[in-house]
């Protein structure tokens, strides 16, 4: 086989000198038994292969070697195996056993170690294992006469199985250190030479010493074949000097973030980071710009999009080769709920898509939900979804050290860890992050942060791990509550936000409520997050109960039966009372917060006023520092007209709508596209500095009142969610008071936002609603104009705050009582709903019949002593899809033999029996290999609640299950879902289960041909009764049109068969096509071959029973009855 492959490759143009290597033999593998190798000696097997080929018909070979564990000392260990392999190494130096077995005349050939690891998954530590491995090979290469090893490849980078390196920063750092040694192999064989200086002394001349070569090697090295190989090697080296051209259209997708919940018809935003790895610059403008676009697929079919929903995203700037860009993409979701495959790609408008140029696309599998149902007859909205907390993402704004976070898979998360900051509740996040960096962490150690007002901040990515050797960091989502709760519990708003956040995380990460723990439970410091969390009646049970209620609401059936009228009325009244209390509490807290901010602004303004009085005691009236930018900004003075002072009737407030860091010059350049210059007369930056940007005596020529009759002031920033800083409010008040003195026609009523003139968002959503910063600005104007005594106002506000504090405390106590009552009622309500659901189960539109299968569970090989544990059916919640990763001809008997046998090389112990519950052959036949109550081994750590369904074959590199497999597999899974009440969302591929780093059920499951989409689409059809055979077995007899003959004698002969097996009986080919199995009685003169082909085309399993005459046909039927066999060729249990 090797010779044939090598010759075929060398015959290809350009591949004449390719090295075709003999594949590596697994060390410690005793499955290579044959005549002359009774013990299955792997090194002997390797030697025999090479000896069979000889030096002229072999280009080189590959080796594999490992250590049994992550200890670096095992690299150089000389520990040997037990007899009969006591001469072979147990660990890394097994490579020497293979090299020792190489025939002497083949030791000049290239040797490559193409796979090495620690047998167990890579330990994410910079332990020196990688450095010692490369140093070991380098030391081997330096020894005289040793066969050169040209490569040592670590297994492996991508996350396709449990031995991945991607994201393990410790291993990567170890590899970087190893690279600093710059180890290289050389054809020159080093040799120990005795004192070359002495040779010079004896001869008086410099002597060049050649390395010695063994006699047999010397003969081999001078053969014509080796001389040709050397010449070919020189030609290859020259060819490699010509660099391969880089493709012009190429993109690398670096990062992406999508919303957690997707609702039909919505337009979402997703943050994408990508790199230009081609040779063309991506231009954002011009006639053929580069834009981001997308396509939807369902069942491998590309869906057409209406023009209004085929959105494109512009680049923010030109992106040269090698540069990185971050986009906020707008994506229109499909208008029908279901599972979709989203494919994101770049388009060169007018030219084509990048995918057409072989560039990779970004593929994401989306589940799009229907929107919430409208209110019911009682006005109550039935909530089906978890109230997701709105959090502010500040992950990129916080300080970090130069050290990168370790990374993890979300499948590793086991806990939601609650802690408190232990500091002042309003200590800034920047200060907290700086403190964590100072203690040696790469950045802030939390994932989320909840402030006292209940605002949630996302401060780190969930995949980041600050302390990988600690359970609380590696396996926990860390939520920090601002404050110290050793004595008092957190405020109600903070508790409620934390509970909703924990419920949201539990739902999305598949965690139970008991996964919520305090940091002290996972560390030696047992007090965090404070004694109030752990003590009896503490706030931990409140959070756990809130999570339980949210998850219970989610898990209740979508079509819930109506509880009795009295309970509904009671619940509605209590909810109304609760909502009223919540609103009252929210208004009180909002008012208190607004007054607190207002008070802080008063204090800042008072301090500023006092400083001004101290610096300029001789000055009276207003003295503003205004910087003049009129001549520094782009403007066309010829397009302005003169304006008189009496024409000014308004002062119009704007926000810039862009980050405060954007310069006034950039904003002016944007305005000058449509106007002669910047439309603002004054601008106030984030620190409160005032700039004049237009002369007050000039105005643009326009009929718009908000321009021609107004002074326009712009505050730097965007205020749809936030408001200007106190410094900006103070400066704005000073400026407007000064302008009102210059323009007496302007009063406080004429100070307006631009949105009060035209349909516009400026100066933000918070201008007249929400935080209403217009009121704050007008109050600052009054104080600046001397209309308010700040000291008296401050005293009054302090008194009002004290009153509100008392009201707030009383409201919180009342709310706590209402919350407890609400929790009890909701628990009772949920219990009643479940009881009613059990009693009044909704009628189902279609009942899926069980598929045809053969139960061979008791016929397969079993371990002589080991037995699987048993479980009840109500414990089963998931279906796991597998592939055998073997040729489809390998049946369950052979798989069972492999499963019950130990495999020390892979670290696998013996199993009690085959791991799967159902086995689907390539022809679609189903065999049950375990009882459903058997908790067999097929998904690591998840066997107790899953059913294993395996499809025969290996679905890699474009291969997917056969049509028959998909049809019968979908029927089986749909029936299991119905019988075990499992939703489609819990039908997972093997690799989708946490802690299962495997490629199973193949690379084509969610990539390439995406056979998961095909399977799921077929399951949904079967659930709706589409394509399911309504008849299990049909006995088909022939007839002719009336008054012609019918198969009277065949019917008489089949009476015994019909009585024994009870098939449906008829004379219609059309009716028979709805059957899963069809038995045709009689030869082709009755039911023709075309009719039989017609039935097979419609997915029927067809068997014809026909003798040479009617009597022989009757005897065949009678023999089947005697044997108890329904069919001659199908082994099916009905």
- Domain CATH for 1102: 3.40.50.12090
For residue 129, the model assigns a pLDDT of: 96
pLDDT at 72 over 50: yes
Q: How far apart are CA 343 and CA 548, in angstroms?
A: 36
pTM over 0.75? The answer is no
Residues 641 and 652 in one domain: yes
Q: Write the pLDDT tens digit of every residue in 886-918.
A: 999 999 999 999 999 998 888 889 999 999 999
Tell me whether strands 698-700 and 869-870 are parallel, antiparallel or unpaired.
Answer: unpaired
Residue 559 lies in a domain: no
Element (H, E) at 935: strand 934-935
Asked if residue 446 is part of any domain, the answer here is yes
| Same domain assignment for residues 429 and 404 | yes
Beta strands in 451-592 (DSSP E): 456-458, 464-465, 476-481, 516-518
Question: Last residue of a domain, which of 333, 368, 403?
Answer: 368
> Residue 730 contacts by C-beta under 8 Å, 6 or more apart in sequence?
601, 604, 605, 608, 688, 780
Any idea what the CATH number is for the domain that residue 721 is in? 3.40.80.10
* β-pairing verdict for 324-332 and 267-276: antiparallel
Q: Does residue 157 sit in the same domain as residue 24?
A: yes
Helix (H) or strand (E) holding 346: strand 338-348
Residue 196: what pLDDT?
A: 31
Whether 1006 and 998 have beta carbons less than 8 Å apart is answered as no
Alpha-carbon gap, residue 558 to 985, rounded angstroms: 15
Q: Of 68, 60, 83, nearest to 27 (Cα)?
A: 68
Q: Phi first, then psi: give them for residue 104, nearest 5 degrees.
A: -60, -35
Flag whether 190 is in a domain.
no
The pLDDT value recorded for residue 654 is: 95
Rounded Cα distance, 18 and 1024, in Å: 56
Query: What SS3 class is residue 869?
Result: strand
- Give yes or no for a contact between 922 and 965, defined as CB atoms under 8 angstroms apart: yes
Question: Of 277, 221, 283, 224, which Cα lies nearest the Cα of 251?
Answer: 277
717: alpha, beta or left, given left = phi > 0 and alpha = psi -120 to 50? left
CA distance 391 to 399: 19
Whether 267 maps to a domain, the answer reads yes
Euclidean distance between CA atoms 483 and 453, whole angstroms: 11
Q: Where are the alpha helices (DSSP H) in 767-856?
A: 773-784, 790-839
| CATH code (residue 343) | 2.60.40.10
DSSP symbols for 714-730? EESS--SSS---HHHHH
Position 323 pLDDT exceeds 80: yes
pLDDT score for 242? 43
Confidence of residue 327 (pLDDT cuts 50, 70, 90): very high
Do residue 408 and residue 544 come from a single domain? yes
Task: Tell me: pLDDT of 558 over 70.
Answer: no
Which range is least confidently modeled, 214-228, 665-679, 1064-1078? Answer: 214-228
Cβ(732)–Cβ(780) under 8 Å?
yes
Angstrom distance (rounded) from CA 601 to CA 777: 11
**Full residue range of the structural domain in which residue 822 is found:** 565-620+786-842
**1055-1106: per-residue pLDDT in tens?**
999 999 999 999 999 999 988 899 999 999 999 999 999 999 888 899 999 9
Q: What is the pLDDT of residues 867-892, one digit of tens each?
A: 999 999 999 999 999 999 999 999 99
Residue 195 confidence (pLDDT): 31
For 66, left (φ over 0), alpha (ψ -120 to 50), or beta? Answer: beta
Q: Which tens digits make up the pLDDT trace of 342-398?
A: 999 999 988 899 999 989 999 887 878 888 654 443 334 333 444 444 578 788 889
Helices 790-839 and 540-555: crossing angle in degrees, nearest 10, is 50
What pLDDT is recorded for position 571?
A: 61
Q: 717 vs 550, which has greater pLDDT?
A: 717
The confidence score (pLDDT) of residue 815 equals 82
Note whether 91 and 30 are same-domain residues.
yes
Please report whether residue 849 resides in a domain: no
- Looking at residue 790, what is its pLDDT? 56
Tell me: the pLDDT tens digits for 695-710?
A: 999 999 888 899 999 9
- Which is higher by pLDDT, 796 or 321? 321
Q: Which residues contact 278 (CB under 8 A, 6 or more apart)?
A: 246, 247, 248, 249, 250, 251, 321, 359
Q: Which of 208-217, 562-571, 807-816, 960-969 shows the lowest per-residue confidence on average (mean pLDDT)?
A: 208-217
> What is the reported pLDDT for 791?
57
Question: Where a domain ends, among 368, 403, 424?
Answer: 368
> What's the total number of domains in the chain?
7
Tell me, yes or no, whether 527 and 455 share the same domain.
Answer: yes
Residues 550 and 576 in one domain: no
My answer on whether 1000 and 1038 are in the same domain is no
pLDDT at 789: 56
DSSP for 287-341, written as a single string: SS-EEEEEEEEETTEEEP--GGG---EE-SS-B-TT-EEEEEEEEEPPSS-EEEE
What pLDDT sits at residue 321?
A: 94
Task: With a cut of 90, say whether residue 59 has pLDDT above it.
Answer: yes
Per-residue pLDDT band at 567 (split at 50, 70, 90):
low
The strand pair at 698-700 and 640-642 is best described as: antiparallel
772 within a domain of the structure (yes/no)? no
The single-letter DSSP state of residue 933 is T
As a whole number of angstroms, the distance between CA 368 and CA 267 comes to: 12
Residue 325 reports pLDDT greater than 80? yes
Cα distance between residue 182 and residue 178, in whole Å = 8
Buried b (16+ CB within 10 A) or exposed e, 235-249: eeeeeeeeeeeeeeb
The pLDDT score that the predictor gives to residue 306 is: 86
> Residue 125 has which token pair?
């530590």
Residue 803: predicted pLDDT = 82
What's the whole-number mean pLDDT along residues 174-189?
Answer: 81
pLDDT at 300 > cutoff 50? yes
Question: Are 862 and 996 in the same domain?
Answer: yes
Q: What is the pLDDT of residue 240?
A: 42
Average pLDDT of the chain, as a whole number:
85
Closest CA to 912 of 876, 844, 862: 862
Residue 167 inside a domain? The answer is yes
Residue 800 pLDDT level (bands cut at 50, 70, 90): confident
The verdict on 923 and 902 lying in the same domain is yes
Residues 535, 598: one domain? no
Q: What are the structure tokens assigned to 532, written together? A: 């109030």
Ramachandran region, residue 869 (left: φ > 0; alpha: ψ -120 to 50; beta: rest):
beta
Task: From 73, 59, 62, 52, select the one nearest 116 (Cα to Cα).
Answer: 62
The confidence score (pLDDT) of residue 839 equals 56
179, 205, 228 - which closes a domain: 179
Q: Residues 769, 737, 600, CA angle at the centre, nearest 5°?
A: 55
Strand partners, 683: 691, 714
Highest mean pLDDT: which range of 16-25, 207-216, 421-430: 16-25
Is residue 714 located within the same domain as residue 744? Answer: yes
How far is residue 257's CA from residue 1083's CA, in Å, rounded to a whole number?
A: 64
Q: What is the pLDDT of residue 844?
A: 46
The pLDDT value given to residue 556 = 52
Burial of residue 1052 (CB within 10 Å: 0-12, 13-18, 19+) is exposed
pLDDT of res. 149: 96
Backbone angles phi, psi at 45, to 5 degrees: -60, -45
Whether residue 238 has pLDDT greater than 90:
no
Least confident interval from 224-228, 348-352, 363-367, 753-757: 224-228
Q: Is residue 205 part of a domain?
A: no
Of 387 and 497, which is predicted with more confidence? 497
**pLDDT at residue number 565:** 60
Q: Inform me whether the pLDDT recorded for 1038 exceeds 70.
A: yes
């Amino acid at each position: 086989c090797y010779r044939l492959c090598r010759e075929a490759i060398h015959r290809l143009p350009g591949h004449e000198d390719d090295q075709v290597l003999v594949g590596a033999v697994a060390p410690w593998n005793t499955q290579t038994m044959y005549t002359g190798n009774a013990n299955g000696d792997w090194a002997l097997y390797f030697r025999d292969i090479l000896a069979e080929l000889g030096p002229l018909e072999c280009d080189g070979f590959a080796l594999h070697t490992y250590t049994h564990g992550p200890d670096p000392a095992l690299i150089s260990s000389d520990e040997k195996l037990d007899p009969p392999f006591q001469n072979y190494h147990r660990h890394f130096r097994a490579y020497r056993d293979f090299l020792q077995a190489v025939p002497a005349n083949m030791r000049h050939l290239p040797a490559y170690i193409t796979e090495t690891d620690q047998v167990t998954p890579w330990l994410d530590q910079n332990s020196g294992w990688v450095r010692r491995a490369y140093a070991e090979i380098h030391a081997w290469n330096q020894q005289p006469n040793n066969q050169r090893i040209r490569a040592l490849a670590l297994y492996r980078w991508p996350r396709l199985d449990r031995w991945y390196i991607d994201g393990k920063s410790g291993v990567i750092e170890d590899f970087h250190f190893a690279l600093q040694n710059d180890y290289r192999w050389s054809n020159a064989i080093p040799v120990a030479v005795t004192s070359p200086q002495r040779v010079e002394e004896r001869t008086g001349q410099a002597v060049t010493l050649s390395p010695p070569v063994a006699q047999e090697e010397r003969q081999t090295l001078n053969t014509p074949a080796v001389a040709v190989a050397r010449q070919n090697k020189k030609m290859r080296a020259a060819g490699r000097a010509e660099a391969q051209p880089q493709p012009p259209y190429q993109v690398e997708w670096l990062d992406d973030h999508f919303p957690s919940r997707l609702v039909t018809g919505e337009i979402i935003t997703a943050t994408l980071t990508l790199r230009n790895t081609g040779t063309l610059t991506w231009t954002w403008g011009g006639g053929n710009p580069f834009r981001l676009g997308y396509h939807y697929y369902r069942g491998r079919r590309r869906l057409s999009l209406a023009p209004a929903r085929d959105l494109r995203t512009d680049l923010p700037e030109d992106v040269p080769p090698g540069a990185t860009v971050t986009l906020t993409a707008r994506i229109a979701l499909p208008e029908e709920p279901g599972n979709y495959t989203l494919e994101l790609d770049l388009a060169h408008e007018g030219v084509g898509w990048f995918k057409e140029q072989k560039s990779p696309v970004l593929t994401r599998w989306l589940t799009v939900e229907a929107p919430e149902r409208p209110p019911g007859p009682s006005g109550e909205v039935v909530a089906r979804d978890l109230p997701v907390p709105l959090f502010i993402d500040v992950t990129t704004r916080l300080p970090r050290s130069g050290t990168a976070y370790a990374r993890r898979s979300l499948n590793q998360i086991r806990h939601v860890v609650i802690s408190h900051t232990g500091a002042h509740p309003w200590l800034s996040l920047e200060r907290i992050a700086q403190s964590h960096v100072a203690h040696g962490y790469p950045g802030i150690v939390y994932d989320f942060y909840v402030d006292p007002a209940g605002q949630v901040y996302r401060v780190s990515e969930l995949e980041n791990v600050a302390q990988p050797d600690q359970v609380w960091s590696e396996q926990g989502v860390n939520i920090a509550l601002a404050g110290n709760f050793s004595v008092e519990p957190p405020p109600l708003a903070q508790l409620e936000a934390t509970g909703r956040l924990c419920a949201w995380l539990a739902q999305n990460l598949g965690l139970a409520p008991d996964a919520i723990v305090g940091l002290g439970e996972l560390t030696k410091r047992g007090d965090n997050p404070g004694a109030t969390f752990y003590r009896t009646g503490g706030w931990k049970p409140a959070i756990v109960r809130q999570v339980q209620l949210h998850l219970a609401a989610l898990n209740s059936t979508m079509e819930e039966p109506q509880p009795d009228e009295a309970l509904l009325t009671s619940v509605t009244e209590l909810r109304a009372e609760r909502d009223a209390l919540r609103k009252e509490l929210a208004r009180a807290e909002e008012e208190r917060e607004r007054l607190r901010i207002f008070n802080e602004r008063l204090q800042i303004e008072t301090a500023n006023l006092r400083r001004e009085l101290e610096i300029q005691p001789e000055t009276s009236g207003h003295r503003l520092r205004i910087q003049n930018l009129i001549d520094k900004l782009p403007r066309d003075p010829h397009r302005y007209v003169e304006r008189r002072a009496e024409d000014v009737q308004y002062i119009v407030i704007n926000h810039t709508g862009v980050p405060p860091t954007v310069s006034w010059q950039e904003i002016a350049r944007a305005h000058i596209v449509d106007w002669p210059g910047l439309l603002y007369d004054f601008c106030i930056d984030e620190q409160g500095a005032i700039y004049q940007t237009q002369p007050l005596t000039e105005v643009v020529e326009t009929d718009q009142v908000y321009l021609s009759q107004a002074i326009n002031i712009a505050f730097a920033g965007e205020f749809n969610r936030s408001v200007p800083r106190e410094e900006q409010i103070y400066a704005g008040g000073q400026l407007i008071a000064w302008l009102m003195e210059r323009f007496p026609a302007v009063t406080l009523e004429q100070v307006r936002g631009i949105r009060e003139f035209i349909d516009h968002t400026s100066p933000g959503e918070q201008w007249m609603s929400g935080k209403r910063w217009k009121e704050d600005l007008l109050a600052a104007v009054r104080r600046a104009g001397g209309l308010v005594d700040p000291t008296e106002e401050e005293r009054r506000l302090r008194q009002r705050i004290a009153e509100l504090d008392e009201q707030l405390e009383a409201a919180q106590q009342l709310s706590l009582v209402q919350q407890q009552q609400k929790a009890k009622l909701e628990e009772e309500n949920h219990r009643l709903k479940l009881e009613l659901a059990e009693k009044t189960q909704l009628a189902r539109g279609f009942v899926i019949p069980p598929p045809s299968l053969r139960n061979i569970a008791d016929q397969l090989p079993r371990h002589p002593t080991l037995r699987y544990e048993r479980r009840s059916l109500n414990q089963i919640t998931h279906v796991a899809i597998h592939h055998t990763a073997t040729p489809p001809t390998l049946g369950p008997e052979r798989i069972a033999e492999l499963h019950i046998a130990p495999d020390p090389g892979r670290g696998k112990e013996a199993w009690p029996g085959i791991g799967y519950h159902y086995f689907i052959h390539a022809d679609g036949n189903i065999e049950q290999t375990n009882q459903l109550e058997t908790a067999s081994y097929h998904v690591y750590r998840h066997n107790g609640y899953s059913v294993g369904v395996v499809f025969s074959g290996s679905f890699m590199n474009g291969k997917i299950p056969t049509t028959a497999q998909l049809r019968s597999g979908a029927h089986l899974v749909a029936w299991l879902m119905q019988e075990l009440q499992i939703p489609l969302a819990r039908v997972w591929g093997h690799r989708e289960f946490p802690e299962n780093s495997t490629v199973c059920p193949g690379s084509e499951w969610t990539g390439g041909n995406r056979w998961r989409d095909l399977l799921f689409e077929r399951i949904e059809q079967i659930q709706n009764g589409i394509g399911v055979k309504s008849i299990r077995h049909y006995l088909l007899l022939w007839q002719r049109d009336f008054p012609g003959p019918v198969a009277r004698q065949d019917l008489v002969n089949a009476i015994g068969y019909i009585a024994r097996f009870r098939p449906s009986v008829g004379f219609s080919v059309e009716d028979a096509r709805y059957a899963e199995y069809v038995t045709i009685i009689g030869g082709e003169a009755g039911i023709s071959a075309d009719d039989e082909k017609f039935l097979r085309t419609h997915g029927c399993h067809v068997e014809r029973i026909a003798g040479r005459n009617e009597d022989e046909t009757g005897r065949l039927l009678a023999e089947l009855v005697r044997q108890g066999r329904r069919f001659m060729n199908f082994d099916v249990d009905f």
